[in-house]
Structure 1
Amino acid sequence: MPSAGTAPRRAAQLAALLAMLAFFAAQFVGALLPQAALLIVASTAGLALDLYLQHRDPGLLSLLGKIRFDVMVRQLLRDVLILVGLLRLNSDNSLRGYTTVVSGLVLFYGAHLACQALAIVVKRTRTLPFVTRNVDTDGLHLTAAPPRLLYRQHGRRLLRFACAPTTGLLLTVATADTVWAETGVAAGVLLAVAGTVHLAGWLKPEKRIADEKQALEWLDRWLADYKPTVGMYFSGGTTSAYQANMWLSTLAELDGRPVIVLRERFMVQKIDATDVPIVCIPKVVHLMALEKSTLKIMLHPANSGKTSQVLRMPSIKHAFTNHGESDKLSSCNPYSKAYDEVWVAGPAARERYQLADIGVEDKDVVEVGRPQLAPILPCSTTPPGEDEYVTVLYAPTWEGWDGNPGNTSVMLAGENIVRGLLADPKVRLLYKPHPMTGSVDPRAGQADERIQAMIREANSRRGGPRPGPEAAAELARRAAELQALTTSSFRDSADEIERMLLQSTPEPGRAAGVADATAAWETAYWASLPEWEHQIITDARPSLFSCFNQARLLVSDVSSVVSDYLISEKPYAVANTSGMTEDEFRACFPTVSAATILTPDASGIADLLAAVRDPARDELAAARSKLKVHLLGPSDPPSLVRFNRAALALAAEADARQARMAERASAVPAPREAVEAGQPG
């Protein structure tokens, strides 16, 4: 769903494109009439607009590139029109040095193209077959990147260097003195040549990094020295990094030597703070280096098209951990049978796989709990006081890919749910929609906008005391601390190689420091908010788990949010927008068996809030406690302990297979031995 500011932004973009075309048209008219003032104003305005858009909206200019009206064509057209104007203004051949100016412009554009060609060569020499983080890169001869204006900003480089020739040409238009044009063109040529020479310095031996062969040999040596035993494999899009990030702390706590294996280069910087070594290997041919390593098991938090490329390695055992469990079909994907084992939280998921009948054998399902849920606090035994606000979290999921109206409550029930909660003067609502809401069905995005408008309007009618300035100051201090820990300190010119160099060694305890700083920020965040004010939470922080700890009641949909919230044993409600009866809904989705079921009209909100305020009316407390164990497994031994045991057991299976393979290989005579023994080879 496009955001509320999308329409004005698109209007501004259209206006910018029309203005650029208008400036070119005005240039054309000014050159042909000829009209010096019009030519100067249109040329200057066109160049200024192009420079502005290169900085503020390069994506818009990329659209022009698709129709072959890229920055090179635009600037060349701009200069050609000025030259035409010069000829028309001086048709009596009174203009001297015209040939020199044209020749200089040809040299300028030639030098620019040479710089661009050199930038491509330098980029290729600075591209390794892999990317690393938290890995000592000594031996790869990594160096700092060239200035990005020369190296990566083709359009900005051309326009900035072209300012001198274009300005000189326009001054000649105004004065009929070619000295200005000759000076400007000479300055442009010098800039372009100097940039090219400077960029060529990165092809010198002392600045060249390892080539592909040397890099791959280095990777083999690093794997042999580090001896990884357990890895997490991840491949996904730009918004999917959270699926891997949720497993970082668990991976770091496992016995053995962990490593994170990625497939997309951009993903390296999207992984949160961790001390675990990260290796990104984009090409499958290079990925095979892992087969020769000491890796025994690979954990998979998500399925992807590239997963099959690592599953073909028989020396590694593979376990599917998923990134969340729910009653949706996506939690029982038939692809799961490709893994050696499927690790689930508790008995409910085991039953789900058997009922789905997708080929996953029961012996391959291992219950490990959900180690990530440790930050979620248990239910408070003290009921809210009469004057205390009841915090309710409404966290609907998104609409999904299959068009099922029961996937999300936002469209059919969201406004009724929020209206019912806002009607209670002692309810404080936290609204945290799924970040992908509206990405498939625009109606979900439109409903989300209406819900947010309702909450803002409700806040405008409320009032009460606000925390003092010291709370805001504390939040600002904690935010600065967190930003200092999580914001990269890379130069603007830093490229992939320079970031590898700077991130070669993790700061000791940085991951723990970020976790502590995040917790401190969340504490300060909640303390800075009035207890009566409803909140719309669409940023990554505060986290969903932090919202869980603030809420006494959750309203959600059939999703992993419900399963995770159950660790607290606090009351929850699930909206039924599937069209099923309540009995059918409970039978189809075991995670809602201990929930209050809300119909699309949300008529049960008042009774639900009454049960939260008076524990004696909470008839589902025992059911939640039982369902928690069914969904997430027992609390003893702790989930992390069970997870680690599962990892060690699967690693032992990998060792056993390797031993069997070695035994079989030793029992088979080599071809030469077979020939010497008189046996057929």
Structure 2
Amino acid sequence: MPAPRPVVKKVVKLLRAWAVLVDLLVVVAAIAVLLNPDATWTVIMLAVPLLVMMWRTRRSLTRRLKSVGGLGEYLIGRYLLLIVGIVQAAHHGIPTALWTVAGILLALALEAERFELRMHRRIRPYAAHLPDRDTEHRPRFAYGYLYSLGVLGLVLLVLAPVIGTAGAWALLVVAVLAVLVALAALVDIVRRIARRSSTLREMPEIVEQLEPRFFVYWSAQRGSAFQITMWLPHLERLGVPFAIIVRSDANFRDLEGVVDAPLILRRTLADLDSVIVPSARATFYVNNAVLNNHMIRYSELLHIQLLHGESDKAASSNPVTRMFDRDYVAGQAAIDRFAARGISMPDSIFRIVGRPQVEDVEEARGPIGGIEAPTVLYAPTWQGFHQDAQYSSLLQGPDLVRRLLGRGCTVVFRPHPYSYRTQALRDACEQIKALLVADGESTGRPHLHGFAAEKEMTVFDCFNASDAMISDVSSVVGDYLHSEKPMAMISMHATADEFRREFPTSRAAYVIEGADGGLIDIDGVLDTMLGPDPMSQVRKDFATYYLGDIPRDSYAERFLAVAREDLGITVQGGTDVVSGPGAP
């Protein structure tokens, strides 16, 4: 799991502070040698440990700056060490020509680092997966080699009085290699800048040649790719060209390696103007991001809200939905949710399309009471951005998992991806994983958690691996209804009756009341859910209400049919044909 952003920021801040300290210590070494050129061992004792620190630090810097490594770091200190080394070499009779040429080459390499780092940072991502167009914006090789060679050269230069003429020749070789790497990096940077400029200049023509029938527009927090990737397989089944538009570098990098469709980064309003082409009929949205309004202003497009899950969360009945032309909802429950919250909506906006993602969710293998050692999925949500969205039960999760293990259950643990962004929730996740590891080692039960449950498996794979589920107010509850398996929801801030009134999905689930001190009557709820399960028929009725009255064997076809109608696509002989107003 990647390190949370606050931790990364602290590490970067520490590295920056450390760089200043190193520079100051190098100043001390420089003053010492300039005052007393005979102080060879004093210089070595001061400079070499600092150079070793620089060398060791390059790995952390490489992770932070990726392929540019430590380029541009410790420049003040390295320039001073270069001066110190040259003075030392001259004072101890090292051949003048060797150290002069090597010193000049090292100085050129140092200056090249600063220039090339500045130029590299200007080459921000812009597009990916454009047909017949090389849009690779990353370096062809690791520019960080230049940093490593520069530090190695300084080590040899500082040690010149000790290693003599042979070391001077080695220094010259290293300096030449550093200059060659700098030249190669410069050529690569110029090539990347030219390619980027050419692509951006020709972007309107490129998009027009793509003839996208629709766009998928996305702006979100970093690490939210699941919002859009859950829809792409179904949008691809529409059988017409489309492009994905994102608004930030972070969103671009989230999607670049996981999608095949043309991916275009547009940072400003003016940037968006250049990609709105005549072939485009509609734009799909998957969240309520503020920047959606930048795209919604193009009135010639049909604007369709998909969201990224069916749940009773506040986001599912946000009044901003009024600005869209269509709101694709899973079932009648999503429409009634607006009315229940006093939000008036035009009837023409809604289209019931089901949740195509659940088409591969398997039905229960039999009554839960007949399964001797059931597998229970625990899928808690995260704390949310706002007070009205703090539904997570994760802090009570360790207690819940202990109860399940005590009953002999196998546990599948899949928390919301955002859970790792909060220290308290992250700690709870680690406690739960530790419990499952320890129980698995002692009992042999094949619990699923960590990478296996969160990366290798989809949430629907987790559904199929389980016999029952426990969750919070979350879209996984609505999706799990399709399996008709028993489930429980945890109410963190209300009694069971209040919870059922506020979140209608819970009327199809067993409710566990949560409190700061723990979970109330959890054993009684688990006895009922994993035993007689009296709510079996209720879940079936709610599945129709929440996920649409759609035949199970052709469930995803409803979404495809409605989308094709809105996009003006007809199907003839198994082939999608673009037709209707606005067809190219």
With normalisation by structure 1, the TM-score equals: 0.71
Query: Does 1:351 pair with 2:351?
Result: no
Q: Structure 1 pair 168/391, CA: closer, same or farther in 2 (3 Å)? A: same
Query: Does 1:402 pair with 2:391?
Result: no
2:320 and 2:476 mapped to 1: Cα distance?
Answer: 23
Contact 2:149–2:175 (CA under 8 A) maintained in structure 1: no
2:216 and 2:243 mapped to 1: Cα distance?
Answer: 6
Aligned with 2:233 (options 238, 249, 252):
249
1:165 and 1:398 mapped to 2: Cα distance?
Answer: 50
Q: Which residue matches 1:294?
A: 279
Query: Quick one: which amino acid aligns to residue 244 of structure 2?
Result: I
Q: Structure 1 pair 574/291, CA: closer, same or farther in 2 (3 Å)? A: same
Q: Which residue matches 1:315?
A: 300
1:51 and 1:368 mapped to 2: Cα distance?
Answer: 58
- Post-superposition CA distance 1:420-458 (Å, at most 9, x none): 21221x211222222222534x43333333333443444
1:169 and 1:551 mapped to 2: Cα distance?
Answer: 64
Contact 2:550–2:558 (CA under 8 A) maintained in structure 1: no
Q: Which residue matches 1:428?
A: 410
Residue 299 of structure 1 deviates from its aligned partner by: 0.7
Secondary structure of the structure 1 residue equivalent to 2:421: coil
Query: Does 1:644 pair with 2:560?
Result: yes
- Post-superposition CA distance 1:260-289 (Å, at most 9, x none): 233335545533655544333344323223
Residue 338 of structure 1 deviates from its aligned partner by: 1.8
Query: Quick one: which amino acid aligns to residue 110 of structure 1?
Result: L
Q: What's the C-alpha RMSD, in Å, of the aligned pairs?
A: 4.1
Q: Which residue matches 2:429?
A: 448
Match runs of 1:479-628 below 5 Å: 532-537=445-450, 539-578=454-493, 580-600=494-514, 601-614=518-531, 617-628=532-543
Residue 560 of structure 1 deviates from its aligned partner by: 0.6
Contact 1:571–1:621 (CA under 8 A) maintained in structure 2: yes
Contact 2:411–2:448 (CA under 8 A) maintained in structure 1: yes
- Post-superposition CA distance 1:222-274 (Å, at most 9, x none): 44443221221122233011111000111011153333233335545533655
Consecutive unaligned residues in structure 2, runs of 5 or more: 570-577
Q: Which residue matches 2:573?
A: none
Q: Which residue matches 1:158?
A: 147
Secondary structure of the structure 1 residue equivalent to 2:284: strand
1:211 and 1:434 mapped to 2: Cα distance?
Answer: 37
Residue 625 of structure 1 deviates from its aligned partner by: 0.6
1:302 and 1:564 mapped to 2: Cα distance?
Answer: 17
2:538 and 2:367 mapped to 1: Cα distance?
Answer: 19
- Post-superposition CA distance 1:387-417 (Å, at most 9, x none): x311111111111122469511122x32332
2:210 and 2:65 mapped to 1: Cα distance?
Answer: 46
Residue 158 of structure 1 deviates from its aligned partner by: 3.5
Query: Does 1:133 pair with 2:129?
Result: yes
Residue 361 of structure 1 deviates from its aligned partner by: 2.4
Q: Which residue matches 1:673?
A: none
1:438 and 1:208 mapped to 2: Cα distance?
Answer: 37
Query: Does 1:47 pair with 2:51?
Result: yes
Aligned with 1:174 (options 153, 162, 166):
162
Match runs of 1:163-202 below 5 Å: 163-171=152-160, 173-174=161-162, 179=165, 183=169, 186-187=172-173, 189-199=175-185, 201=187
Q: Structure 1 pair 202/39, CA: closer, same or farther in 2 (3 Å)? A: closer
Residue 105 of structure 1 deviates from its aligned partner by: 2.9
Q: Structure 1 pair 220/605, CA: closer, same or farther in 2 (3 Å)? A: same
Residue 383 of structure 1 deviates from its aligned partner by: 4.6
1:573 and 1:611 mapped to 2: Cα distance?
Answer: 10
Aligned with 1:234 (options 211, 218, 227):
218
Contact 1:168–1:184 (CA under 8 A) maintained in structure 2: no
1:122 and 1:24 mapped to 2: Cα distance?
Answer: 28
- Post-superposition CA distance 1:474-530 (Å, at most 9, x none): xxxxxxxxxxxxxxxxxxxxxxxxxxxxxxxxxxxxxxxxxxxxxxxxxxxxxxxxx
Contact 2:358–2:479 (CA under 8 A) maintained in structure 1: yes
Contact 2:247–2:265 (CA under 8 A) maintained in structure 1: yes
2:363 and 2:443 mapped to 1: Cα distance?
Answer: 31
Consecutive unaligned residues in structure 1, runs of 5 or more: 465-531, 660-681
Q: Structure 1 pair 396/40, CA: closer, same or farther in 2 (3 Å)? A: same
1:2 and 1:266 mapped to 2: Cα distance?
Answer: 15
Q: Structure 1 pair 450/70, CA: closer, same or farther in 2 (3 Å)? A: same
Secondary structure of the structure 1 residue equivalent to 2:245: strand
Contact 2:311–2:473 (CA under 8 A) maintained in structure 1: yes
- State the percentage of identical aligned residues: 23
Q: Which residue matches 2:574?
A: none
Q: Structure 1 pair 534/291, CA: closer, same or farther in 2 (3 Å)? A: closer
2:32 and 2:476 mapped to 1: Cα distance?
Answer: 64
Q: Which residue matches 1:105?
A: 103
Q: Which has the higher contact order (CA 8 A, sep 6+)?
A: 1
Query: Does 1:463 pair with 2:463?
Result: no
Q: After the TM superposition, which of the residue ranges 340-349 and 636-645 deviates more from structure 2?
A: 636-645
Q: Structure 1 pair 408/75, CA: closer, same or farther in 2 (3 Å)? A: same
Residue 657 of structure 1 deviates from its aligned partner by: 7.5
Aligned with 2:141 (options 132, 144, 148):
148
Query: Does 1:261 pair with 2:245?
Result: yes
Query: Quick one: which amino acid aligns to residue 366 of structure 2?
Result: T
Between structure 1 and structure 2, the one with the greater Rg is 1
Secondary structure of the structure 1 residue equivalent to 2:443: coil
